[in-house]
Amino acid sequence: MGAAFVTALQGLALLLISLVAGAMFGIWRGYDPATFGPGTFVEVHQGAVHGLNTLLPAIGLGAISSVAVLAFLARSRPAVLWFYIAAGASMVAAALITRFGNQPINAQIMSWTAADLPDTWTALRDSWWSWHLGRLTAGIAAELLLIAAVFSDRASQARSQVVGDVRLAKGTLR
């Protein structure tokens, strides 16, 4: 593949994982559900689920897919390949936490009204928050690993270019 394609795909992957990790960070920093009363909690949570429940998984899938292609393209450079694999694995971990930790709780909360909360609502709220902290950790790890992969990939490509140029120069001096 051409360098321009790889650069564009790296930029896309970074953008997509940044959007997902940024959304998770924003929820962590600005939306501690323990600070809300029952009615506010239900309204805010349901609004967030309506706005993000389809969008963020789609963006996450795009990020995972683009990193998988980058890993495939880096398969002949093991150090780079492992950074991409680790970034992708962290993204998958965040997705699995979301799917099997947060989303089942989201589905329950979507059926609630502020006037009719189950007795266990605070336990479910707190469980959701714990799952969220886990996926946030995985998302930040994915972002950092992807940045390391891109830097490593670009350095590897630059070294290959220099070696190629030296070989070409030596060949023309003879």
Domain containing 148 equals 3-173
Instruction: Kindly report, residue by residue over 66-78, the tens digit of the pLDDT.
Output: 999 999 999 999 9
Percent of the chain with pLDDT over 90: 82
Give the model's pLDDT for residue 172. 59
Q: What is the pLDDT of residue 154?
A: 85
Which amino acid would we find at residue 73?
Answer: L
pTM of the prediction?
0.85
Residue 137 burial by Cβ neighbours in a 10 Å radius (0-12, 13-18, 19+):
middle
What pLDDT sits at residue 151?
Answer: 94
How many residues comprise the chain? 174
Number of domains in the chain: 1
Which positions ≥6 away from 139 have C-beta within 8 Å? 17, 20, 21, 24, 25, 90, 91, 94
What is the residue type of 115? A
- Per-residue confidence (pLDDT) for residue 85, from 0 to 100: 98
1: confidence class by pLDDT, cuts 50, 70, 90: low
Residue 164 has pLDDT above 60, yes or no: no
User: d(Cα 151, Cα 141) in Å, to the nearest integer?
Assistant: 15
